[in-house]
Amino acid sequence: MKDDSLSKLGGACSILVGVAYLLMGITYLLQPAELQAGGDPTLLWPTLAQSPPMHTLQQWAGALAGVFAIAAVLAISEVVRPANEGWVRWTSALAYLGYAVLAISSFRALALAPTLAEAYMTGDASTQAAIVVAGSFVDLEPQGWLGFGATGLWMFVVNLLALGRGTWPKTLAYVGIAGGIFSCFVVGGMVLGIPLLIAIAGALGGVIVAPIWFIWMGLRLRQANL
């Protein structure tokens, strides 16, 4: 009898990742500009102290996406592995690392950001200057090379391989390829300092493409329809 426990678990987690990505993208876009990438760091902490809910929701969504995605990557990679074991194993290992970094960074921000925001509001000028500098170390990887770049590469590769082998529907594969590209656009926007590129990638990739792909993929895994 075939053991489909990995598909069932991975499918459920993939659906949860899709929901978390949707929440992460929406909350990012709804935050004040000061809390988005490229915002003025001297305005970040007072803004965060005055309006923390969206930032908190975004970090929780990122943390849960990172945790659930590890099971999703396991199940999805197993399905497409016969197409090219070398590429699938390498990129899935990078995806595990990327999603772990995303989860740790988000949990770290949840723990540190409120304390730093309160200290900024109650501190003197020298304390505030120190917090502005220290704030840049809250995120484990400010440019997103692992949390977005490595995970985007994995998504691109598994869908490209699935497209070539007909492992899942072409439309689903094309959506996944687009999701991988948008994820890499986030890295490009952070590295080049282009907030607009990050916003576009977040709106199209985070709110539309990634949720559709993960939820659709999760449903297929749950139904053992791959």
Measured distance CA(171)–CA(72) in Å, rounded:
19
Q: Note the pTM of the prediction, 2 decimals.
A: 0.91
User: Is pLDDT above 70 for 1?
Assistant: no
- Segment 80-128, tens digit of pLDDT: 999 999 999 999 999 999 999 999 999 999 998 888 888 888 888 888 8
Mean per-residue pLDDT, 129-140:
80
pLDDT value of position 150: 96
Which position has the token pair 């990739």? 205
The band of 75, judged by pLDDT with boundaries at 50, 70 and 90, is very high
**DSSP H or E stretch at residue 78:** helix 53-80
Measured distance CA(216)–CA(209) in Å, rounded:
11
Contact 156, 181 (CB under 8 A): yes
Contact 117, 55 (CB under 8 A): no
Its sign, for the CA torsion 141, 52, 36, 117, is negative
Contacts of 77 (CB under 8 A, 6+ apart): 88, 89, 92, 95, 154, 158
Mean per-residue pLDDT, 140-149:
89
Measured distance CA(117)–CA(202) in Å, rounded:
25
The band of 200, judged by pLDDT with boundaries at 50, 70 and 90, is confident
Q: What ranges do the domains of the chain cover?
A: 5-222
Question: ∠ at Cα 76 (13, 27), nearest 5°?
Answer: 45
